[in-house]
Amino acid sequence: MAIKVKLNVMMAERDMSLNELSEKVGITLSNLSILKNGKGKAIRFTTLDALCKALDCQPGDLLKFE
């Protein structure tokens, strides 16, 4: 299974830094960095919800199946 998180793409489109997103979502920089770099093994729905709200996007905009 190869589900990728496209957090870096959404952040670039929104011109948002990792620090800014961390503050808006309430997630540590290290955890966001893990997601951004594709090293995460799982994501909670609450985290996905918070990311979508902060980035004004849909879950499908952040996730990609390869």
Query: Residue 31's pLDDT is what?
Result: 94
Confidence category of residue 1, pLDDT binned at 50, 70, 90: low
- Taking only the tens place, the pLDDT of each residue in 50-60 is 999 999 999 99
- Amino acid identity, position 54: A
Domain boundaries, the chain: 3-65
CATH tag, 3-65: 1.10.260.40
pTM: 0.90
Contact criterion met (CB below 8 Å) for 6 and 61: yes
Q: Which residue from 39, 38, 50 is spatially nearest to 6, judged by alpha carbons?
A: 38
Q: What is the DSSP string of 20-44?
A: HHHHHHT--HHHHHHHHTT--S---
Q: Give the 3-state secondary structure percentages of the chain, helix then strand then coil, rounded to 5.
A: 60, 10, 30
- Taking only the tens place, the pLDDT of each residue in 7-45 is 999 999 999 999 999 999 999 999 999 999 989 899 999
